Amino acid sequence: MLYREALNKAIDKTMEMDETVVVLGEDVGLYGGSYRVTEGLVAKYGERRLIDTPIAELSIVGNAVGMAIGGLRPVAEIMTANFGLLAFDQIINHMAKYRYMSAGKITLPMVVRFPQGVSRQLAAQHSESYEQMLTAVPGLTVLAANDINYAYHALKFAIMSDDPVVFIEHELLYNKKGEIDFENAIDPLKARVVKEGQDMTIVSYLKMLDDVMEAVPEIEKQLGKSCEVIDLCSLNPIDYETLETSLKKTGAIVVVEEDHKTGGFGSQIVSWAAEEMFYSLDAPPLRLAGEDVPIPYNRTLELASIPTPDKITDKIIAWGKNNGL
């Protein structure tokens, strides 16, 4: 099954279970979504539940907030993260805060689906990652789906949650293939140990996780060490318990992320390791991230601006050798 099909099945299942679930966004109805995630759903549930909106992100999320307050479970799709900036007033000042400000009298069972990341030559205004901003907002649960099984179960969880969720997807993952275990639900707030190892912990999420897994065989070959790879899955809250267990075993941590290094999300993991796990560390933490430049259109420059499997391999090997790992 494709990643986008897993998301489609999650939306379909929740719409079938609960008639208050509605979807709104640009081209989510008749067209089937910019990434084909809502394909076929309008024929099944009609245009009252698959709502095509104007190109107006502030309105999309604002209407979703009102729908949630009024008793619906809206799933709002933002076409790409950069456009989502127009909706940040609604996301940060309303979606994240109403339940707290009303002392729990108002619930906001709503999801904002948030495609983001460097795709392929979409240039600076269509290629950003904003998890560092979203996770800094108290009141928002932020999930990041890499795995097909996780995408299905976590989106179902998000839609049926009574708290607001930002569900981050990566635009290059929609055609990724995988399997879904429909029988066994997962805890979407728990990090996923993708590969067990003994000598270093590599933490990542979204597409960078796949690049890490591509790099790991050469890293292990060159260093003669084994890597433990963890998919964070939930970016807010973070499953520090899984990270702590791994780091106590390995004594070394690497964080790989696509967003810009200055102020990037990975700095949160590194600061936690330094503050809370200092005496478990056998080497200084390493953070691999995107360059501090607007994402270029030119493909060669675009790839130069973000981590790639080759760069991940070279930098982790150099770091390991410099620190006696």
Catalytic residue among 57, 77, 171, 258: 57
In the residue annotation, 57 being an active-site residue is answered as yes
Residue 39 and residue 77: Cα distance in Å, rounded? Answer: 13
Task: Write a three-state SS string for the chain.
Answer: CEHHHHHHHHHHHHHHHCCCEEEEECCCCCCCCCCCCCCCHHHHHCCCCEEECCCCHHHHHHHHHHHHHCCCEEEEECCCHHHHHHHHHHHHHHHCCHHHHCCCCCCCCCEEEEEECCCCCCCHHHCCCCHHHHCCCCCCEEEECCCHHHHHHHHHHHHHCCCCEEEEEECCCCCCECCCCCCCCCCCCCCEEEECCCCEEEEECHHHHHHHHHHHHHHHHHHCCCEEEEECCEEECCCHHHHHHHHHHHCCEEEEEEEECCCCCHHHHHHHHHHHCHHHCCCCCEEEEECCCCCCCCHHHHHHCCCCHHHHHHHHHHHHHHCCC
Catalytic residue among 126, 153, 170, 260: 126
In the residue annotation, 260 being an active-site residue is answered as no
Residue 214 and residue 194: Cα distance in Å, rounded? Answer: 13
Q: What residues are annotated to the active site?
A: 57, 126
